[in-house]
């Protein structure tokens, strides 16, 4: 087992190093949504079939989700700086290869590699934040990370629309990938100079390869029918879900056995004894299931239902993206004071904003919908910023630093699974009504109502946690609020969110 070591004094360049992490995180998350508006360009310029288009989108999400936990654990063991730089270099090269792809098959292969590389980068970011920052500074850093998560996901359709409008539909899809190159190269060069060289916590620990295989097979079996829900007709695909549950159950038993034998597991199951981590991960999973489906639905409705261009469709979500950035920045500062209350307020704002978009679809159909939905999207964006950033801080605040990479991988795997599940569920509602009744307005409203229902589940979890904290004795709540800080798993300098 690893020896617990106290990290060195805070690096004077830690905020610049955070900028490197955020730049890499931005392009990797941007690629989850920017490709959606480029699908017509792919079909025209590369002759991509519907199956290829599906794999360009869903294959990235699949390999992204599969890589997160093993990559996070590898960063914990061998060093997050090295894992981050390798993942960023691979992502940049894969982006170049995607843009130069000579045929649909090659594009799918390079897209799968790109997703794997993104999954290598993501958990190192949260782990490095845990290492570089303590106390209120850590909450602020996670606030900036929340800004990037919200903005990159929401800005994808706008960025893709701008690129395709500037370059043209024949080659516009290539520039959706080429745009990553200058950011990736600049971040890599800056990372070599700025990222801190902390000693690896588990140089002598074995890598749990069998655990990787079990978890990977379980996540693959769970995500595959979700990401292929529209492309695989019939109910047979859902037979993979019980297979996934069996594999994930076997993974849990195996990891527990590894812990009892004193060996290093892939995921420290003790993380789930931390109420803040377990509840925060559940809130994150359910929120992303509702949150990411909004952009999927809105792009479909505006472009296919109302005839918006890719650029016009992307511009309509600009209020959400801008407000999300503001909300996340504020959330990073306020979470120390308000804690879970902030998440409750944020989730309520998102639900209210989506209900406002539903009303706009009903009252102002047609080309003016973009203007009519601007205010509701603004409200929803602020709510999203107040949800993602504080919830990330509260979820990871008590996680020992030497397990931060694996914990971040678990958290983000839940986000990827939630996103895939939400798109499958909400997409099914939208397409089923469209196929049976042909009314895009009603299909859009029903889809949004489904998304609101999912977000309300996250809201119920947050409210339940808030009430439980209020009735517990003050000493227990104080102990719960103490997070990991100065030491490897210590409690000094932690964020102490209010109930």
Average pLDDT over residues 454-474: 79
- pLDDT tens digits, 402-426: 777 778 888 888 888 888 888 888 8
**C-alpha dihedral sign at 494, 146, 265, 192:** negative
Q: How many other CB atoms are found less than 10 A from the CB of residue 498?
A: 15
Q: Which residues contact 234 (CB under 8 A, 6 or more apart)?
A: none
Cβ atoms of 277 and 271 within 8 Å: the answer is: yes
Rounding to the nearest 10 degrees, give the CA dihedral for residues 334, 336, 338, 339: 120
Supply the pLDDT for residue 204: 60
Q: How much of the chain, in percent, has pLDDT values that exceed 90?
A: 27
CB burial of 405-436 (b: ≥16 within 10 Å; e: otherwise) equals bbbbbbbbbbbbbbbbbbbbbbbebbeebbee
Cβ atoms of 335 and 387 within 8 Å: the answer is: no
10 Å CB burial of residue 220 (0-12, 13-18, 19+) is middle
pLDDT band at 471 (very low <50, low <70, confident <90, very high): low
CB burial of 16-31 (b: ≥16 within 10 Å; e: otherwise) equals ebbbbbbbbbbbbbbb
Q: Percentages helix, strand, coil for the chain, rounded to the nearest 5?
A: 80, 0, 20
Rounding to the nearest 10 degrees, give the CA dihedral for residues 22, 184, 173, 412: -40
pTM comes to 0.79
- pLDDT tens digits, 24-56: 999 998 888 788 778 878 888 888 887 788 788
Which DSSP letter does residue 200 get? Answer: P
What is d(CA 422, CA 427) in angstroms, rounded to the nearest whole number? 8
- pLDDT tens digits, 274-325: 888 888 899 999 998 888 788 778 877 887 788 887 778 778 888 888 888 8
Supply the pLDDT for residue 261: 80
Cβ atoms of 259 and 268 within 8 Å: the answer is: yes
Supply the pLDDT for residue 202: 54
């Amino acid at each position: 087992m690893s020896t617990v070591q106290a990290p060195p004094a805070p690096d004077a360049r830690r905020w610049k190093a955070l900028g490197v992490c955020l730049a890499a995180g931005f392009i990797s998350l941007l690629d989850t949504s920017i490709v959606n508006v480029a699908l017509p360009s792919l079909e025209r310029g590369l002759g991509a079939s519907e199956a290829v288009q599906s794999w360009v989108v869903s294959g990235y999400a699949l390999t992204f989700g599969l890589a997160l936990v093993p990559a996070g654990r590898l960063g914990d063991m061998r060093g997050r700086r090295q894992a981050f730089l390798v993942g960023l270099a691979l992502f940049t090269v894969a982006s170049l290869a995607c843009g130069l792809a000579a045929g649909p098959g090659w594009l799918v292969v390079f897209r799968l590699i790109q997703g794997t590389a993104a999954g290598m980068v993501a958990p190192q970011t949260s782990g490095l934040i845990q290492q570089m920052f303590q106390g209120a500074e850590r909450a602020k850093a996670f606030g900036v990370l929340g800004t990037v998560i919200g903005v990159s996901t929401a800005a994808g359709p706008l960025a893709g629309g701008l690129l395709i409008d500037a370059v043209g539909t024949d080659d516009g899809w290539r520039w959706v990938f080429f745009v990553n190159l200058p950011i990736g190269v600049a971040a890599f060069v800056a990372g070599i100079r700025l990222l801190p060289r902390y000693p690896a916590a588990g140089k002598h620990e074995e890598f749990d390869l069998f655990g990787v295989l079990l978890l990977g097979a379980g996540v693959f079996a769970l995500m595959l029918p979700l990401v292929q829900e529209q492309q695989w007709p019939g109910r047979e695909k859902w037979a993979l879900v019980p297979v996934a549950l069996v594999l994930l159950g076997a993974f849990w038993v195996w990891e527990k056995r590894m812990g009892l034998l004193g060996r290093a597991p892939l995921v420290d199951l003790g993380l789930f004894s931390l109420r803040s981590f377990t509840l925060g991960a559940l809130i994150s999973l359910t929120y992303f299931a509702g949150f990411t489906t909004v952009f999927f639905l809105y792009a479909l409705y505006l472009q296919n239902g109302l005839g918006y261009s890719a650029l016009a469709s992307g511009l309509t979500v600009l209020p959400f993206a801008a407000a999300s950035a503001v909300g996340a920045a504020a959330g990073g500062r306020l979470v120390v004071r308000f804690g879970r209350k902030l998440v409750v307020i944020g989730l309520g704002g998102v639900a209210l904003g989506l209900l406002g978009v539903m009303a706009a679809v009903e009252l102002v159909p047609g080309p003016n919908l973009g203007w009519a939905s601007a205010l509701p999207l603004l409200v929803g964006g602020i709510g999203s910023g107040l949800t993602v950033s504080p919830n990330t801080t509260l979820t990871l605040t008590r996680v020992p630093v030497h397990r931060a990479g694996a914990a971040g991988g678990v958290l983000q795997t839940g986000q990827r699974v939630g996103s895939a599940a939400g798109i499958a569920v909400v997409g099914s509602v939208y397409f089923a009504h469209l196929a049976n009744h042909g009314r895009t307005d009603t299909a859009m409203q029903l889809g949004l109502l489904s998304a609101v229902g999912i977000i309300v589940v996250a809201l119920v979890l947050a409210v339940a946690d808030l009430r439980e904290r209020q009735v517990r004795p003050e000493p227990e709540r104080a102990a719960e609020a103490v997070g990991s800080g100065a030491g490897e798993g210590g409690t000094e300098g932690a964020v102490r969110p209010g109930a």
